[in-house]
């Protein structure tokens, strides 16, 4: 019998350039009414750059600054296609919350699962 299993190998930094899953509010969050996603800390460098603030920052429902998202919940600073080739256009100024998500962390794996980035594979050992 064959059984499905999920990827168990480590997810490396290199994978981020063809992922971007953690840069979009997952569909389930949005379905539950959570429309803001990544909070910007008061000490984050982006808040000292008015042009970047105008373009990429918005006040959340609680009034705190958050990254501005498009209609699909995707950070406006993300370039490329999620799951294809992606790039953060404000990488040097990205907020602390973005820096905290490490490849292969629980947050990373949750984000990737939300976008089916690691689909089930057949178990190679099963017959
Ligand atoms: S979800 Fe993980 S692999 Fe994807 S961009 Fe974020 S940290 Fe990188
Ligand atoms: S600022 Fe950059 S790293 Fe952070 S969510 Fe947006 S695209 Fe992703």
Cβ of 82 less than 6 Å from ligand 2: no
What are the sequence ranges of the domains in the chain?
14-113
SS3 content of the chain, % helix, strand, coil (to 5): 30, 15, 50
For residues 14 and 112, give the distance between their C-alpha atoms in angstroms, rounded to a whole number: 14
Residues 6+ apart with CB under 8 A from 32: none
What is the model's pTM? 0.87
Cβ of 23 less than 6 Å from ligand 2: yes
**Residue 46 near residue 40, CB atoms below 8 Å:** yes
Cβ of 94 less than 6 Å from ligand 2: yes
**Residue 42 near residue 52, CB atoms below 8 Å:** no
pLDDT along the chain (127 residues), means of 10: 56 94 95 93 97 97 95 97 96 97 94 84 45
What's the 13 CA to ligand 1 centre distance in angstroms? 8
């Amino acid at each position: 019998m064959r059984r499905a299993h999920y990827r168990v190998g480590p997810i490396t930094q290199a994978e981020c350039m063809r992922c971007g899953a953690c840069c979009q509010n997952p569909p389930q969050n949005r379905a539950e009414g959570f429309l803001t996603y990544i909070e910007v800390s008061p000490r984050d460098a982006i808040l000292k750059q008015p042009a970047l603030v105008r373009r990429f920052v918005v006040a959340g429902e609680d009034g705190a600054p958050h990254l501005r998202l498009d209609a699909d919940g995707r950070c406006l600073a993300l370039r490329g296609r999620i799951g294809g080739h992606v790039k953060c256009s404000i990488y040097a100024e990205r907020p602390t919350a973005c820096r905290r998500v490490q490849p292969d962390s629980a947050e990373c794996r949750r984000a990737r699962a939300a976008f089916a980035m690691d689909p089930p594979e057949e178990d190679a050992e099963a017959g």
